[in-house]
């Protein structure tokens, strides 16, 4: 593992590693400590008091960020008949059925999210080994297997994210770009925290949000005081 660069070390000096910041202050500090020449993504990591090995403690969901993620999302829709037209009208980038399946099986994967109508899942399911490992498989739990393709496309285009707790009990999610500024990022992270809180499993005991940190793509982590999250969650 290589040594941290000078820019990172200088950036790290702007963060008090012994302090747990308020949410807005943490976002401002993360922005101030960013140093890359590109518009860095601001990510949040939350360690939850759950054991994902137990089905009744799994935390998985979706959230539409008020200001989006700042990334253009290329949406593909597997559909037939009138649902094809509906998807195109809603702004989907790629729409089709057997033709798209054949193209993907040939190695094409130039899209970010996939939606499928339920009647297409028999065909789409055969590509599980291709789409699954890349997080591209449509799933009813995340709203990407649906006959309401227009709504699904619009939500993904608007900045809908999906998240799932990892084995270690940690959630990772993008909250937007540094260029958004702290206030817009605060709106996004508030919506995310509200969703995560709402998804708290009944089987989870003790402290739910144990630790939280935000960071930019290249910058250091900034700790958030979990006890202050309730101040921004409606």
Asked if the model's pLDDT at residue 193 lies above 90, the reply is yes
Instruction: Give the residue-averaged pLDDT of 44-66.
Output: 94
**Residue 30 within a domain:** yes
**Same domain? 64 vs 169:** yes
Q: Residue 187 domain-assigned?
A: yes
How confident is the model at residue 62, as a pLDDT? 92
Q: Which of 157, 180, 204 is the last residue of a domain?
A: 157
Both 168 and 195 in one domain: the answer is yes
Residue 179, in any domain of the structure: yes
Instruction: Please tell me whether residues 139 and 205 are part of one structural domain.
Output: no
152 with 171, same domain? no
3-class state of residue 146 by DSSP: coil
13 and 31 assigned to the same domain: yes
Kindly state the helix (H) or strand (E) to which residue 90 belongs, with its residue range: helix 82-90
For residues 136 and 109, is the Cβ–Cβ distance under 8 A? yes
- 218 torsion bin: left (phi>0), alpha (psi -120 to 50), beta (else): alpha
Domain at 82, CATH number: 3.40.50.790
Residue 1 lies in a domain: no
User: Do 87 and 150 have their domain in common?
Assistant: yes
**3-7, 47-51, 80-84: segment of lowest average pLDDT:** 3-7
Q: Answer yes or no: do 80 and 143 share one domain.
A: yes
Q: Looking at the structure, do residues 145 and 173 belong to the same domain, yes or no?
A: no
Whether 26 is covered by a domain: the verdict is yes
Which domain does 81 fall in, by range? Answer: 75-157
Q: pLDDT category, 3, cuts 50, 70, 90?
A: low
The pLDDT tens digits for 114-166 are 999 999 999 999 999 999 999 899 999 889 999 999 999 999 999 899 999 99
Mean pLDDT of 22-45: 95
Mean of the per-residue pLDDT values for the chain?
93
Q: What is the CA radius of gyration of the chain?
A: 19
What total number of domains does the chain contain?
Answer: 2
pLDDT confidence band for 2 (50 / 70 / 90) = low
Contacts of 218 (CB under 8 A, 6+ apart): 7, 8, 11, 34, 35, 36, 40
Both 48 and 18 in one domain: the answer is yes
Please report the pLDDT score of residue 195 as a whole number. 96
pTM comes to 0.85
Q: Domain holding 203: CATH number?
A: 3.30.190.20
Distance CA 216, CA 176 (A): 10
């Amino acid at each position: 593992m290589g040594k941290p660069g000078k820019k990172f070390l200088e950036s790290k000096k702007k963060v008090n590693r012994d302090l747990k910041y308020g949410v807005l202050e943490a976002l401002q500090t993360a922005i101030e400590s960013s140093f890359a020449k590109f518009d860095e993504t601001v990510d949040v990591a939350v360690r939850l008091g759950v054991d994902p090995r137990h089905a009744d403690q799994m935390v998985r969901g979706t959230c539409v960020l008020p200001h989006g993620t700042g990334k253009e999302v290329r949406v593909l829709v597997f559909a037939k008949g009138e649902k094809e037209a509906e998807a195109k009208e809603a702004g989907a980038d790629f729409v089709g059925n057997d033709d798209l399946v054949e193209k993907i099986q040939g190695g094409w994967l130039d899209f970010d999210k996939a939606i499928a109508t339920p009647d297409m899942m028999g065909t789409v399911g055969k590509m599980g080994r291709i789409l699954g490992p890349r997080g591209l498989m449509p799933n009813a739990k995340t709203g990407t297997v649906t006959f309401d393709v227009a709504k699904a496309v619009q939500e993904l285009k608007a900045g809908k994210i999906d998240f799932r707790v990892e084995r270690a009990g940690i959630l990772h999610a993008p909250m937007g770009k540094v260029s958004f500024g702290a206030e817009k990022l605060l709106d996004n992270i508030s919506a995310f925290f509200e969703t995560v809180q709402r998804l708290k499993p009944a089987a989870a005991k003790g402290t739910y949000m144990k630790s939280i940190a935000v960071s930019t793509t290249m910058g250091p982590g900034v700790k958030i005081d979990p006890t202050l999250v309730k101040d921004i969650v409606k």
